[in-house]
């Protein structure tokens, strides 16, 4: 790889139309799992919920569709019917929490249509646990390939993130703006926003930003009735944006910091653009710095390897790097629907490895079986932890006490070093 280059990644806020959809889908998944937990039918060895939930958001309209099974379904005349009132309320609560109460899209005014139906028995048959000599094993919920990635380049700026710098700082800019919008410091901002960060690399290391782009929705007029212009919005947010970057990283030229480059951004969110679940998969992962298998995460229960195996691949890649066995690591796994064990495993340390990659390909599945059952049990994915993943990336976050972001732990690093 070239030693000196520019690389750009983007992020979107929790109010971006696609992220509104992702959060609704994952909040519904959390509700299914939470019901299982309360009834005692979801633990590390058992899974009841199956869900593939898709959400569409547009002007004062939310459509929720997909298939599943679980305690929020009931059988009426032989048909599996979901609790539509509860699903509708979940969607409204998410929209309210994000902050949408506009004429074109509001938590109380939007019409919510629920089209969830029961899971196909043909899919369930291939996924449900089957008796094998090794015990109960679930088959993969679908075919496909998943990637995990980790690197050391951002460690000097944020210990433990193991993420590429461009996507890490693109997320951070929007998180800072969101916090200030919510606490009233930037109260004239609205929920919809995007960021784009171009990072300069010298000798393989990130040294600063050459361009920063922020597009953020805002009120038409300020509290003292002054009409906003892009220049005023830029002036309003520049200190917050700079605070999200390492010292000296903010572009020196004003022309290299672009804010709302098309002009005012008053109409936004689902009223300005239709949102769909699963349309921001590069934002969800590594900002284009690493490969992506193509499968989205949000709205999918942990038997679906699009999600769980991508988490597992990140977990393994991060532990390889945390163990000091490489500065960069990409891991690919591939599955067939209904089959527990992966079809293939690839480890690529991009010339930075301290140990033969073939050796890692042998050791990793011995330390961590890559079956859907073991991934779910070891990473404790049978928990209502998913809505929080649906904005600002699924990776590079801190593990949480209730099991959220468990795939970000580095607790396998010592075992890896010992095995090597």
Q: How is 254-292 classified by DSSP, letter by letter? A: GGGEEESTTS---S-HHHHS-EETT--HHHHTTTTSS--
Quick one: fold of 144-150+279-285+304-419? GMP Synthetase; Chain A, domain 3 (3.30.300)
In the predicted structure, residue 28 carries a pLDDT above the cut 60: yes
pLDDT value for 132: 45
In the predicted structure, residue 133 carries a pLDDT above the cut 50: no
- The ranges assigned to domains in the chain are 5-13+166-267, 17-129, 144-150+279-285+304-419
Q: What is the pLDDT of residues 91-130, one digit of tens each?
A: 999 999 999 999 999 999 999 999 999 876 666 555 665 5
Instruction: Decide: 33 and 299 in contact? Cβ < 8 Å.
Output: no
In the predicted structure, residue 135 carries a pLDDT above the cut 70: no
Sign of the Cα torsion 224, 228, 231, 233 reads positive
Q: What is the largest CA-CA distance in the chain?
A: 72
Average per-residue pLDDT for the chain:
92
Nearest CA-CA partner of 399 in 326, 322, 347: 322
Dihedral (Cα; 65, 67, 73, 78), 10-degree rounding: 110
Same fold, 17-129 and 144-150+279-285+304-419: yes
SS3 label, residue 403:
coil
Cα three-residue angle 126-128-133, rounded to 5 degrees? 95
In the predicted structure, residue 185 carries a pLDDT above the cut 70: yes
CATH number listed for the domain at residues 5-13+166-267 = 3.30.300.10
What is the mean pLDDT of the segment spanning 331-351? 95
Instruction: Decide: 381 and 406 in contact? Cβ < 8 Å.
Output: yes
The architecture (CATH level 2) of 17-129 comes to 2-Layer Sandwich (3.30)
pTM: 0.94
pLDDT value for 138: 82
Cα three-residue angle 314-369-404, rounded to 5 degrees? 45
Displacement of CA 209 from its chain's centroid (Å): 24
């Amino acid at each position: 790889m070239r030693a000196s280059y520019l690389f750009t990644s983007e992020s979107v806020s929790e109010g971006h139309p696609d992220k509104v959809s992702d959060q609704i889908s994952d909040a519904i998944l959390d509700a299914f799992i939470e019901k299982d937990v309360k009834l005692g039918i979801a633990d590390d060895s058992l899974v009841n919920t199956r869900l593939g939930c898709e959400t569409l958001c547009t002007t004062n309209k939310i459509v929720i569709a997909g298939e599943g099974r679980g305690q929020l379904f009931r059988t009426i005349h032989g048909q599996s019917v979901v609790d539509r009132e509860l699903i509708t309320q979940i969607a409204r609560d998410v929209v309210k929490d994000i902050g949408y109460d506009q004429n074109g899209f509001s938590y109380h005014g939007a019409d919510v249509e629920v089209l969830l139906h029961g899971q196909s028995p043909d899919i369930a048959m291939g996924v449900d646990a089957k008796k094998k000599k090794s015990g109960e094993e679930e088959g993969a919920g679908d075919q496909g390939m998943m990637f995990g990635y980790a690197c050391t380049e951002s460690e000097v700026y944020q210990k433990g993130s193991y993420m590429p710098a461009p996507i890490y700082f693109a997320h951070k800019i929007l998180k800072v703006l969101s916090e200030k919008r919510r606490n009233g410091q930037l109260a004239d901002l609205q929920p919809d926003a995007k960021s784009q960060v171009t990072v300069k690399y010298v000798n393989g290391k990130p040294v600063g930003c050459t361009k920063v782009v922020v597009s953020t929705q805002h009120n038409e007029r300020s509290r003292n009735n002054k009409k906003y212009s892009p220049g005023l919005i830029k002036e309003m947010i520049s200190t917050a944006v700079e605070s999200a970057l390492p010292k000296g990283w903010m572009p020196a030229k004003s022309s290299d910091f672009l804010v709302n480059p098309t002009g005012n951004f008053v109409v936004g969110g689902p009223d300005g653009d239709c949102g769909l679940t699963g349309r921001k998969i590069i934002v969800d992962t590594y900002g284009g710095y690493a490969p992506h298998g193509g499968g989205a995460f949000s709205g999918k229960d942990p038997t679906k390897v699009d999600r769980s195996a991508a988490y597992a691949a990140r977990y393994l890649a991060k532990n390889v790097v945390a163990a000091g066995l490489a500065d960069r690591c990409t891991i690919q796994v591939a599955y067939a629907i209904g089959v527990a064990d992966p079809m293939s495993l690839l480890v690529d340390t991009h010339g930075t490895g301290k140990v033969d990659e073939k050796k890692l390909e042998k050791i990793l599945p011995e330390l961590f079986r890559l079956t859907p059952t073991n991934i779910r049990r070891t990473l404790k994915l049978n928990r209502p932890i998913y809505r929080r993943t649906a904005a600002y990336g699924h990776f590079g976050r801190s593990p949480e006490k209730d099991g959220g972001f468990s795939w970000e732990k580095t607790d396998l690093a010592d075992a890896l070093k010992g095995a090597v």
